[in-house]
Each structure stands twice: as structure tokens, then as C-alpha cells.
Structure 1
Amino acid sequence: MISEFSQNHPELTFKTANFVVPGQGLTNLVLNSHTLRPETIEGVKDSSDVERSLAETLLPNICTEEATNEECIVALHEFEAESQENADAIASLKDDAWALIEPELLQGVQLTIDSSDPASFTSRQTENGQPTLLLEAVGNCGDTCEVGEYMPDTVVPNSADNNIRTGTNPLIKALDLAPITEETTFGAPIRGVVRLTTGGHGTYMFPYEGPMDETGLPSLPTGEVMDFVRDATKTQQEMVASMVDTDGVKVAITNLEHVQTQVAAENEK
């Protein structure tokens, strides 16, 4: 992103800025991610701090002040394994712990990383008229996905119901980017967004995200589907390459099958 370390110094000036499936509001972004949120929650619940606290509550005679974390946690796991009732009790207490931690985590972590959040640089980026291309993974299934359809980004959410400044769409709005729905060549620098309908979050690098399967997540493509997603990877890479090669005046789209060619009303600039 544009910062005090670029654009004002000829040696550091970027000719173009290219963002592939980015987002802003990083902490809330993680907590709204289809794939990252569950991992984050489980990581916190199973952390040594939480498990020691539970051991001190449930096993005060074993988990004393003198006991090590290892002693407390091993005792907790043994207690958990003794019965389903114990396991349910621990699961419930971990849910309660997460409910208490989440608001503090959201506020505290975001405060710590605010200076590096993309949201902190959008005004400078826009004011400088930086030639900018952003790729957003929107899928082809609309609001509700069915098996066999490509999902919106399952890692970086495009938006979040609990915060209008979280995700890719708020970043697009803050950067004031126009929709690109076909191969584009301008005399002036391009500032636009291409919305991608094939693949998912990692397709720019690897063709490993196919249509949604019965798990509710992208499948691992094979056969003709793999060929189609691989072509989407090639198409995305050529978009960015053309932007760089032309110093920001052309976005080459070699296959419109992978691109949203009709702009929804809420996405019109």
C-alpha cells in the first residue's frame, strides 16, 4: 500500500499496486472467516492458559499454585477422559471462556495491528491515484451456495455482517475502485477490481479449490474441473502481469468464463 515510505521517494515509487484477495479489518476478518474462525476458536480453547484455568477450577487439589502447566493440563485431560459428563462439562466451560475472550481479543489485537491494517493506508493510496488492480473471489453461487458451485472467498470474507468495514468489499470501496468486466485498456492509469467466479482464495497461486462439496467447503478438483481451475489460475496471473507490463494501463482477461461480467447494483461505482 502507499505509505510515507513510498511515492515520495523516486527509488521507492511503485508504478502499479496489485492486490489478490485482500481484506481490511484484519482481526474481525479472521473471526468472520469460514476457515480461519474455527481454527482460531479451537486454538484459544485448547491453549495452555485456558486449560490451566479450567484445571484450577475443576481440580484445585491437583492444580495448585505450585503445579506446573504440564501437570495441570495432563490432569485435566485425564479427568476429561473419565466420563462423557466430564467431557461435556469441560466443553461447556471452554465455550464460556471463548465467549469472554472474543470481545477482548477483537479489540486488543486490532489495536495492536492497526498501523499495519490495509484500512490505514487507503486514503493515501487513493489520493496519489496509484494505478491499482484488485482481484476478489466472489464465486458463482450468489447468497446461497449449493454443491457443485464455486464459493466466495472462504479465507478472507468479502464482507462481514457484524462490521461494515471488514473484508474485501469495504477495501474496494475505500480505494474507490471501478468494476472491470472485460479486457480493459485505458490511456490513463487503471484503478479497478475484477471479481472472479472460478476457484477461491488461493487460485491465483495454485488450482486447488474446486466447486463446493458436501462438506460445505471447496473440493479438490480433478480431471476436467482441474483443467478449468488451472485455466482460471493462468487467467488471473495474466491479469496482474499485463497490469505490471503496461505500467497500469491494461488488464488482459484471456477467458471471461472466470470473471463476473455483470455488475450487481451494490457493486457499481
Structure 2
Amino acid sequence: MLLKRLTTGIAGLALLATAAGGCGDIGDGSGGSGGGAKTVTVFAAASLTGTFTALGKTFESSHPGVKVRFNFGGSSALAQQITQGAPVDVFASASPATMKTVTAANLVDGQPQTFVRNRLQIATPADNPGKVTGLKDLSDSELKVVLCAEQVPCGAAAKKALGAAGVTVKPVSLEQDVKGALNKVTLGEADAALVYRTDVKDAGAKVHGIDFPESAQAINDYPIATLSKAPQPALAKEFVQLVLSPQGKSVMTAAGFEAP
């Protein structure tokens, strides 16, 4: 009986030791001594979804054990989240104005750098049922036109372009990011939308893109910056370096972005 009790006790101690040892192998995602993968968190304008996703994969392949987590959306909403304390390493905005919200709160490490520019196009369904040919056609009350909300960079750019053309549009909806505006067109819920040229190109055969001269009056500069409270400051700087590198520029220009 005594031998049985001793054997049981030793087995129990072995189980406890195994469990305790296993706790040391559980990573917390912070890249500390726990051995978990490091995560770089990037907040980026919705129009950067395709290009930054590709660059994120490139970054991960050259940084084993590192994951890049993206939050794509309207730049103004992303800036607000950052100023409210969201733990972010890198912010890439679709306009200097939304980046200024973050710099004014002293949350940027160094100076933001403009890495690309973008301009608007009119997007229509592939068959262009409204027969849109230019910006002035969007004033037709028979057309269902979608714009981005004015606080969003694509909305602010649309307002400039429409003002330059002297065109008044009554949109059927105001979207919170450029992807939302484009989706209305691809789903057949709108006859036209003012979106970025890069988004039209990314949509391919789903939509028809129409250039208009007034887009030159509303070109958006895209700044990028590492944040002063970045959980992974060194990796954040390396990701920004990739975006600014010749490889990064090649990815961006292939998607339709312009050099600054």
C-alpha cells in the first residue's frame, strides 16, 4: 500500500512539473521571452488594402516569426482610434490632414513621409448603364451617385474636384471609406461613384473607370509614419523602410499609385 501511494505521488509531481514547464512556452504575442510570434500592427487607408497586404507578406517572409496585422478603413476613423489609445506601430493615411490629427496629439515618431499620391476616377458598372462620360453627368438627378463622406480623404478630394468643375451632386449615400463607395457600384446599387483610380484598377472587369480633368485639382498625398508608442518600434521602422524602398515603390506604382 505504501509503495502504491509513493508511486501515485511521484506521478502527480511529474504532471505538475510538465504543466509548469509548458506554461513557459505560451507566447503572449509581444515577442518577449515567452517565445510567441511578434506582431506588427499597421493601420492603413482602405485604398491601400491590396498593396499593403502584398507588402505584409513580403515583410513576413523576410522576418521569420513576425506577423503583420492590418486594420484597413477610412483614414479619419483610423486616426481617431489611434488618438484614443489603440496600440499601433505604423499609420499610413490617405491625406496629410488625417495624419495631422495624429501628429497634433504627439503620437508620431519623427516626421511622416509622403510615399505615394492618388487621384480620383469615376467608377461605373462595367456596362455603364447611366452613360456617364464625365464629371458633369453626375449632376443628373436620374443617376444614383455615391460619394465618400467629406471627413474621409476620398470624400474631401471629391468635394474639391466637384467644386473645381462647378458641379453639384446629390448622392444617394455617403460611405465611410472608398471601398464602401466602390462596393455600391460593383453590387449594382449605384450608377457611379467617385473613388480612387487604384481602386478602379483593382476591381478589374467589375467596373468601368472614367478619367476627368478636374481630378488634377484633388490629388491626395499619402503619408506614412511610425508611432511614438509603437509596441514594436524597431519592426515598425523596418516596415516603413520596405514601403519606401524601390521594391515597395514598384508594388505601389503597379497598382496605379503615382510617385510623390
Instruction: Provide TM-score, normalisation by structure 2.
Output: 0.25
Q: Judging by fraction of residues, say which structure has more strand.
A: 2
Larger RCO: 1 or 2 (CA < 8 Å, sep 6+): 2
Instruction: Provide TM-score, normalisation by structure 1.
Output: 0.24
Q: Larger Cα Rg: Structure 1 or Structure 2?
A: 2
